[in-house]
C-alpha cells in the first residue's frame, strides 16, 4: 500500500520582531518550524489510501537584543519561541483550514521542538558569562 507524501515548504525565515538597524554579524537565532498534514482529494482512486501533504512554515526568532545569561531574558526568548510557533501554525490554518493536528497541538509541538535550541543558547551564554 502506498501513501503519497508531498512536501510543501513555505519558508518565512526572516527574523521575528525585527526593529531598528541590523548589523552584519553572526547572531544566534532560534528556528521554529510548524508542521501540519492536509488530506488531498484525488479524482481517481489511489491504491492504499489518501495522499497527504506535509505543510511547514519556519520562523527565525531573534536573540540579539537579549542577554541570555539572565533568567528574565531566557524567559523572554521562550515566550518568543511560543509566539512564533503560534503564528506559524495560524498561518498554516489560514491557508489550509482542514490541516491536522489542531492549531494548538501544532504550536505546542513546534515550540517543544525548538526549546532545545533555546536551552543550548542559554547554557552557552551562562557559560560565557561565568568565564568573564
Domain that holds residue 42: 5-131
In angstroms, the first-to-last Cα distance of the chain is: 60
In the prediction, which pLDDT does 77 show? 98
The CA-based angle 66-70-73, given to 5 degrees, is 40
In the prediction, which pLDDT does 51 show? 74
Give the pTM. 0.72
The CA-based angle 81-19-109, given to 5 degrees, is 10
Q: How many domains does the chain have?
A: 1
In the prediction, which pLDDT does 20 show? 31
pLDDT tens track of the chain, all 132 residues? 222 222 222 232 333 333 233 333 466 899 999 888 877 655 454 566 667 788 899 999 999 999 999 999 999 999 999 999 999 999 999 999 989 999 999 999 999 999 999 999 999 999 999 997
Question: Distance of CA 84 to CAs 49, 53, 58, 114, 130, Å?
Answer: 33, 22, 9, 10, 30
In the prediction, which pLDDT does 89 show? 96
Amino acid at each position: 500500500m502506498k501513501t503519497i507524501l508531498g512536501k510543501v515548504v513555505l519558508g518565512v525565515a526572516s527574523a521575528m520582531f525585527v526593529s531598528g538597524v541590523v548589523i552584519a554579524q553572526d547572531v544566534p537565532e532560534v528556528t521554529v518550524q510548524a508542521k501540519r498534514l492536509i488530506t488531498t482529494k484525488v479524482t481517481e482512486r489511489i491504491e492504499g489510501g489518501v495522499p497527504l501533504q506535509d505543510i511547514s512554515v519556519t520562523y527565525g526568532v531573534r536573540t540579539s537584543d537579549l542577554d541570555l545569561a539572565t533568567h528574565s531574558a531566557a524567559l523572554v526568548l521562550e515566550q518568543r519561541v511560543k509566539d512564533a510557533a503560534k503564528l506559524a501554525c495560524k498561518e498554516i490554518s489560514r491557508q489550509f483550514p482542514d490541516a491536522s493536528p489542531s492549531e494548538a497541538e501544532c504550536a505546542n509541538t513546534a515550540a517543544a521542538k525548538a526549546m532545545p535550541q533555546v536551552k543550548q543558547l542559554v547554557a552557552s551564554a551562562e557559560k560565557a558569562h561565568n568565564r568573564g
